[in-house]
């Protein structure tokens, strides 16, 4: 298919999908961020790569967006004169609009990331010997590049946590998520699996320390370690380039 024609089809479906998502009961901003990234990716990708995972990943994202906003396409109110077939047709259009719109956005993002990964691999392969030589003369070893920022972040953040912010900043959203798993009542206003991560650490903290404040601090310590590890991995990655 001609790229321009395919681009027009993508633009129309994304426009329809984003229009339906205006009625989301969650935050609209994340969808706008993905849209901006997808537009940027579309301008950068000159040729599509036909790899199975570049089609499966956008499909998963599209299904996730569609499932997270099921109230839009399944809970719409219709006048009686539309009839069952009319309701089904309209719900199907909303279902497909949200799914396909999200799919094409993720499709372009995945294509761009794959392009970047190929370019990085080519540069890394071409300059491997030079990188090894530079690392030997730079005075830094790989484990130092990871461990120094990791330990620095862990130390500073934990000092602040236990001396100034104990048991940590608990927002109204966090309180709602804690209430959800303590009462056993859930809704999809907050990501279910993120709530389960909080549940895992808070429940473990309660068993270990027998105090809710200590349990919340236990979860915040985990977040500090996780964030420090992510940042340190990025430092190590860019150091190798």
Residue 59 has pLDDT above 90, yes or no: yes
Q: What is the mean pLDDT of the chain?
A: 82
Residue 185 burial class via C-beta count within 10 angstroms: exposed 0-12, middle 13-18, buried 19 and up: exposed
Q: How confident is the model at residue 161 (pLDDT cuts 50, 70, 90)?
A: confident
Q: What is the pTM (predicted TM-score) of this model?
A: 0.54
Rounded CA-CA distance 76/197 in Å is: 32
| pLDDT at site 169 | 77
Rounded CA-CA distance 3/10 in Å is: 10
* Dihedral class, residue 139 (left if φ above 0, else alpha if ψ from -120 to 50, else beta): left
Does 101 or 129 have the greater pLDDT score?
Answer: 101
pLDDT digits (tens, 9 = 90+) for 173-201: 888 888 888 888 887 778 788 888 888 99
* Residue 102 and residue 59 in contact, taking contact as beta carbons nearer than 8 Å: no
């Amino acid at each position: 298919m001609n790229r321009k024609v395919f681009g027009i089809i993508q633009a129309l479906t994304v426009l329809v999908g984003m229009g339906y998502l205006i009625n989301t009961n969650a935050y609209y901003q994340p969808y706008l961020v993905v849209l901006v990234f997808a537009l940027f990716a579309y301008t950068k990708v000159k040729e599509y790569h036909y790899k199975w995972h570049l089609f499966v990943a956008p499909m998963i994202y599209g299904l996730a967006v569609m499932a997270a906003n099921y109230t839009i396409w399944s809970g719409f109110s219709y006048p009686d004169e539309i009839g069952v077939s009319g309701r089904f047709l309209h719900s199907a259009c909303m279902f497909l609009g949200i799914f396909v719109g999200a799919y094409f956005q993720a499709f372009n993002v995945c294509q761009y990331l794959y392009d970047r990964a190929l370019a990085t691999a080519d540069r890394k392969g071409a300059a491997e010997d030079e990188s090894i030589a530079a690392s030997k003369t730079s005075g830094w070893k790989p484990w130092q590049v990871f461990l120094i920022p990791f330990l620095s972040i862990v130390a500073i953040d934990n000092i602040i946590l236990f001396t100034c912010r104990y048991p940590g900043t608990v927002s109204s959203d966090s309180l709602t998520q804690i209430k959800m798993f303590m009462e056993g009542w859930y809704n999809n206003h907050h990501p279910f699996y993120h709530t389960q991560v909080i549940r895992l650490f808070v429940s473990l903290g309660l068993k270990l320390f027998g105090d809710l404040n200590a349990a919340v601090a236990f979860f915040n310590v985990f977040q500090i370690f996780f964030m420090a590890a992510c940042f340190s991995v990025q430092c190590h990655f860019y150091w190798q380039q």
